[in-house]
Amino acid sequence: MIWKCTDKIIEYGKKPLIMGIVNVTPDSFSDGGEHFNPQDAVDYALQLVRDGADILDFGAQSTRPGYTQISPIEEMDRLEPVISKVRALTDVPISIDTFYPVVALNTIEWGANIINDVSGVINEKMADVVRDNGAGWIIMHNGAGGVNEVRDFFISSAKRCEELGIDKSQLCFDMGIGFGKDRKQDLSLISSVSDYKLPGYPLLLGTSRKRVIGEYGGESEPKNRDYGNVSADTVAVLGGADIIRMHNVKAEKQGVYFAYAVKNARE
């Protein structure tokens, strides 16, 4: 199965894909400030590729609880020196975590391939950018809800994108762990991937170091939650998740690959 992302054709379904997180922010909940300097962000991104990342996901605006929203201009100022340089140094697909259509458009021009949109709505201006550039679009459920609500959102979003002229092969869905949901809803979604995964669309899991891992794993410090994440990843991969978004690529990928081996062994 393929996911079309500008000039990149990403195969999924053979094994889980690893999406490495690069936060170009001073205030992200897990690693804010560590890669805010553009060269530090570039170096870190290339290290994630060496560690095994199949996709790089760059965010210049924190979406942690209580975050302060920055403007599209500031977001682009943070991203431009990073994206342009990373694109010149690696062919790995680049994803941009943004809900601003103008940021999406400019970063695609700098070499990005995927728009990771956490807004939870089908913004027609964003749809225009995605359609006109053939970009991949990660559409996330943002708000309270369980399995039925998430599945209904995925179905209605796919239909709306078709109406807007976007090929289904450009779409990927994300259940939105931690976005407007309580921890029990998060847990239910992680454990029930097969109940709402739509055939013909890749599904992304993004639980890395989030509150649900801390609450049920008994760890208050986000940077120390990677072990809990391996467990969440395992459950999701067994349920059919195609892409796992993570901070600690080098360590966490072991759990993802082993879970996939177990899944194959029982099929």
Q: Report yes or no: 16 and 241 within 8 Å, Cβ to Cβ.
A: yes
Residues annotated as catalytic (active site), given as ranges: 210, 245
CA distances from 96 to 110, 192, 247 (A): 11, 27, 15
d(CA 57, CA 21): 5
Q: Report yes or no: 1 and 45 within 8 Å, Cβ to Cβ.
A: no
Query: Please, which residues have CB within 8 angstroms of residue 237's CB and are 6 or more apart in sequence?
Result: 16, 244, 256, 259, 260, 263
Q: Report yes or no: 234 and 205 within 8 Å, Cβ to Cβ.
A: no
Query: Please, which residues have CB within 8 angstroms of residue 11's CB and are 6 or more apart in sequence?
Result: 1, 2, 3
d(CA 226, CA 66): 23
For tokens 């809803």, what's the residue?
185
